[in-house]
Amino acid sequence: MATGGLGDRQVSRVGFGAKRLLRDGYTPDDRARAVRLLRRAVELGVDHIDTAAFYPSVANAAEGPGGFRSLGVANGLIREALAPYDDGLVVATKVGPTQQGLARPDQLRALVEADLRALGREPLDLVYLRQAGLESVAEHFGALAELREAGLVRHLGLSSVRAEHLAQAQEIAPVVAVSNRYAVDFGRVNDELVESCEAQGIAFVPFFSLTGERREAGGVATHDRVSDVARAHRATPAQVRLAWALSRGPHVLVIPGTSSEAHLGENLAAGDLELSPEELRALG
């Protein structure tokens, strides 16, 4: 499988997102299956896992469109499954969201330290600031930059940001990755940011690539042109969606999540699916 840069590492361009490891109401057997799935992912070559203290998450209609409720067990599952960690594995995590809203800058250290304890991994490979509603990320990102200088974090990223946020952060410390919503039919407002990241040598790590406008509800969004291309390749719509995202540039690293070993294998195979120029034009 092709690789892409993530900080000072080269990782497989198809990674694994921990958001959907478990569903609401999970049982001990479900948890054991999630541990086995994580181990299987690494056996199959996954060397980039994306997580957060608030993962997995489930749709929460009470929070409005795109709202979610945290199950908060992903980091513990990753440690149970994979510690002691292989030297080649990159575990990226996000800080910012809390049950009380976006953390203040002075609260970020405690969130990072909680991730260090939960994952049993020091320093953390990559920490994203997942912002919400900020005009400037400078103060929050500056707090994370201090933790990087202190040796708690190796690399910093940004999530759910605009171009001006990236510029603000880059004035403070290097940004190695941006993670925003992005799919063939959703989040295309980020087209220019994807191109900007490539020009700056920054990895772009899309989320909602499979779910599209369904967001936290999960599943694979229905799209007629995606279905047409999938039939032509005898592939799944999910594989076509991932292949489309990867086609946007060698700096794009996808992180599809699943609780199914069968879907895990399908998602990883998407890294070898090549779409023709005609098919890419049809998909837009």
* Residues taking part in catalysis: 55
How far is the C-alpha of 59 from the C-alpha of 117, rounded, in Å? 27
Place of tokens 């069968």: 262
- Answer whether 97's CB lies under 8 Å from 115's CB: no
Cβ atoms 169, 140 nearer than 8 A: no
* Amino acid at the residue 7: G
C-alpha dihedral sign at 59, 180, 22, 118:
negative
Angle at 159 between CA 62 and CA 147, to 5 degrees: 115
Q: Tokens 């990159």: give the residue.
A: 90
